[in-house]
Chains A and B, each alone.
Chain A
Amino acid sequence: MSTELDPLTGGATVSPAPGAAATVAEQTKADAPPPRPKHRLYRVLFRGPLALRGRGLVIAIPYLWLLLFFLTPFAIVLKISFAEFMVGVPPYTPLVEWVDDTYLKITLAFSGYKYLLEDSMYVNAYLGSLRIAATATVLCLLLGYPMAYGIARSSPSTRNVLLLLVVLPFWTSFLIRVYAWIGILKNNGLLNNALMGLGIINEPIEMLNTEFAIYIGIVYSYLPFMILPLYTTLEKLDGSLLEAAMDLGCRPWKAFLKVTLPLSMPGIVAGCMLVFIPSVGEFVIPDLLGGASTLMIGKVMWNEFFQNRDWPTASAVAIAMLILLVLPIVGFQRYQLVQEEKAREGSK
């Protein structure tokens, strides 16, 4: 607006007297060429207290990525969750509004969240999701641990083949693989026909559209995410530790409990997180295999969004789920940090 606000263009203060300029020029010529003036953005980014250098630069890129593609959508969802349903485009009330060109009106509607608490369906869906995800995680662990152990203990050449087999399903689309289970599980599907053909059963067993089918789907789909982190910790395990345990009097089973199991804890935790977290919000598997009666939060959210077109409630469901999942993780990490601190203190 005014020239006062632009100090850099104040010519008289920048340029020194002609005589002085000559002496400065002579001096610098003797030492080194004068540094080229850098762009201002360059100075902010690479010089001064907020400079990005080395490690900072490397870390900044993924953070920028997360900021852009994770936090921004999250902020949008958070905003919508505080709106109210409305017929129109977009189908929710605005959060910030100018009224009469005078007032800035911020409307925070809690109807979506209130709805979650009032209607027991939502609470039940949350609890159902947690229960199914937890059970499936335990099943994955029980199945995955021996598999990972077996792979880690096999010879290097067999090991590569077995690992390849574990990740092989990823070459086919997740959706198609879940669809395939319909063909296996339905009443006149592969499994029922085989069992009836063998004379084991007379009537087809109702498997599709049951919780059993959901477990099959989740365990089948997420097993690799359990096996791989378990495998990496088990593979690193020093075999001489087990020998030492046996040398000191442990039977093999006891050595496993005292040495292998505690040392593979990081793999167990990582695997369980990788299975549990996406399972809670899983939509495709309960929708395709679980039938209409399944109450899982992912499905409820889908219904709110696409059938009821109630974006605020759907967003509130999503935010509540996030909080429900993030809080335990943060708590767990705090706990781990505290344990580490304790260990360090103990050593002093």
Chain B
Amino acid sequence: MSQFARNLQDQVARAEKGGSIPTDTPRSIIQIQNVTRKFGDFVAVNDVSLTIYEGELFSLLGGSGCGKTTLLRMLAGFETPSSGRILIDGQDMTHIPPFERPVNMMFQSYALFPHMTVEQNVAFGLKQDGMPSAEVKKRVAEMLDIVELSALGKRKPHQLSGGQRQRVALVRALAKRPKVLLLDEPLGALDKKLRERTQLELVNIQESLGVTFVVVTHDQEEAMTMSCRVAIMNQGRILQVDTPHAMYEYPNTRFVAEFFGSVNMFEGILVEDEADHVVIDCPELSRPIYVSHGVSGREGGTAYAAIRPEKVALSKEEPADTSRNCSTGVVQDIVYLGGESTYLVKLDSGRVVRVSLQNAYRAAEPEITWDDRVWISWQPSNVVVVSS
């Protein structure tokens, strides 16, 4: 993440908390207020409220069918909310048709006009605005230059590769300099290698043009790599809106913890609930989980403790404190992933826990191997208690 994005994140965080340094408060560009969209009885988008700030790269993340595209299409004007309001740049746009909105969309299928050349595609929106043709020409050349496609301006879309088409679609949507660019799974059709490279390109273009991006994606890593902030959706609702870092380290629900990265989730009973710590008794672990932060739970009620695989320590020796936050088990499997390895440790209760270890050394033999009896342990500060 660039310094620019980092600063913006800070400012947004302050603004969201009601912070009040007027000089660098970011301006909200999209306000979604209690928007619901129903198809018959089916609620595709359920009472969503969201503020997106100028200059942000904002991601809508969620599984297939959770309503991301529907929400994005409501921003573009292709769907009308069943209830609620959408403000773009302070103006109520809820019922304004797409051709009068100051936003543009990059379609999942790219939707390039097959009967027009690359240049004509990019010029299309500009001509609709009645821009003089000399200026159109200049702008088209400029846009094609950004994505390094100047040489292919005379080609038709079917004569381009998937990656080239994706870039044409991007600059066609950007050519009109919209206030907000809406991108529906912009990298979904690319292969993995190309996708990773394009993620960075997309962020660079976004920052250099200063256009607000709203990106729909189902790929958690993609959202994490690119976004200033991420909203996680499930079944039409937004569960959490946060920076990728906060989303990963402080998920507020079980769903978010499990969706955003991999996690070991333990269900247990809240046996001790103090202001500075809680203790959860989990039948799958031989010792209780001690968490060094308070939660708003009910003593005696069910609680979920989330521990990320890389925050679990693995050793053959007994840890210093065996009264809490540890358990014993047997290494069942080791998944080698290059930079790191994931160990699947089967606890005595039968529960399998994922542990990630960095492969920092090119040592010939790993210290811990299959069928070894091991201890797993973790720090009290590395556990997050989430609601179901």
Contact = CB atoms under 8 A, between A and B. Distances in A.
Contacts of A238: 109, 111
B114 A248 contact: no
Interface string B93-129: 0000111000011010101111101000000110011
Interface string A288-305: 000000000000000000
Chain A at the B interface: mostly helix, strand, loop or mixed? helix
Contact of B115 (A240, A247, A248, A263): A263
Contact of A250 (B99, B104, B112): B99
A248 B155 contact: no
Interface string B136-174: 000000000000000000111001000000000000110
Contacts of A146: none
* A246, A258, A263 interface centre (most CB from chain B within 10 Å): A246
A244 B97 CA distance: 13
A245 B114 contact: no
B155 A247 contact: no
B107 A243 contact: yes
Interface string A221-241: 000000000000000001011
A254 to B, nearest CB: 7
Contacts, number: 62
Interface residues of B, number: 27
A140 to B, nearest CB: 24
A347 interface: yes
A240 B114 CA distance: 12
A259 B113 CA distance: 7
A246 B99 CA distance: 5
Contacts of A240: 107, 109, 111
B78 interface: yes
A148 to B, nearest CB: 19
A248 B104 contact: yes
B76 interface: yes
A76 interface: no
A90 interface: no
B179 interface: no
B176 interface: yes
A249 B176 contact: yes
A343 interface: yes
B176 A347 contact: no
Contact of B154 (A246, A251, A347): A347
Contacts of B98: 243, 246-247
A238 B77 CA distance: 18
A247 B159 contact: no
Nearest to B115: A262
Contacts of B115: 262-263
A346 interface: yes
A239 to B, nearest CB: 9
Given A263-B114, A346-B154, A249 B99 contact: yes
A346 B120 CA distance: 14
Contacts of A246: 97-99
A248 B125 contact: yes
Given A262-B115, A347-B155, A249 B109 contact: no
Contacts of B78: 243, 247
B107 A250 contact: no
A243 B99 CA distance: 9
B125 A241 contact: no
A249 B111 contact: no
A259 B128 CA distance: 13
A247 B128 contact: no
A346 B155 contact: yes
A247 B154 contact: no
A102 to B, nearest CB: 66
Given A343-B156, A346-B154, A347-B154, A250 B128 contact: yes
B154 A248 contact: no
B113 A254 contact: no
A248 B172 contact: yes
A243 B98 CA distance: 8
A122 B113 CA distance: 47
A254 B98 CA distance: 14
Interface string A145-175: 0000000000000000000000000000000
A245 B155 contact: no
A263 B97 CA distance: 24
A246 B111 CA distance: 12
B156 A347 contact: yes
Contacts of A347: 154-156, 159
Given A243-B78, A263-B115, A347-B156, A248 B107 contact: no
Nearest to B78: A243
Contacts of B155: 346-347
A346 B114 CA distance: 15
A48 to B, nearest CB: 39
Contacts of A243: 78, 98, 105, 107, 111
A251 to B, nearest CB: 6
A245 B156 contact: no
A238 B113 CA distance: 10
A347 B156 CA distance: 8
Contacts of B109: 238, 240
Interface in A306-348: 343, 346-347
A254 B128 contact: yes
Interface in A248-299: 248-251, 254, 258-259, 262-263
A4 B128 CA distance: 83
Contacts of B111: 238, 240-241, 243-244
A258 B125 CA distance: 12
B25 to A, nearest CB: 31
A251 B128 CA distance: 9
Nearest to B107: A240
Interface of B: 76-78, 97-99, 104-105, 107, 109, 111-115, 117, 124-125, 128-129, 154-156, 159, 172-173, 176
Given A238-B109, A248-B128, 11 more contacts: A240-B109, A244-B111, A244-B112, A246-B97, A247-B78, A247-B125, A248-B124, A248-B173, A249-B128, A347-B154, A347-B156
**Chain A to chain B: the 5 pairs with minimum beta-carbon distance, closest first:** A248-B125, A249-B128, A244-B111, A240-B111, A347-B155
29 contacts: A238-B111, A240-B109, A243-B107, A243-B111, A244-B107, A244-B111, A244-B112, A245-B113, A246-B98, A247-B76, A247-B77, A247-B78, A247-B98, A247-B125, A247-B173, A248-B99, A248-B104, A248-B128, A248-B176, A249-B99, A250-B99, A258-B124, A259-B113, A263-B114, A343-B156, A346-B154, A347-B154, A347-B155, A347-B159
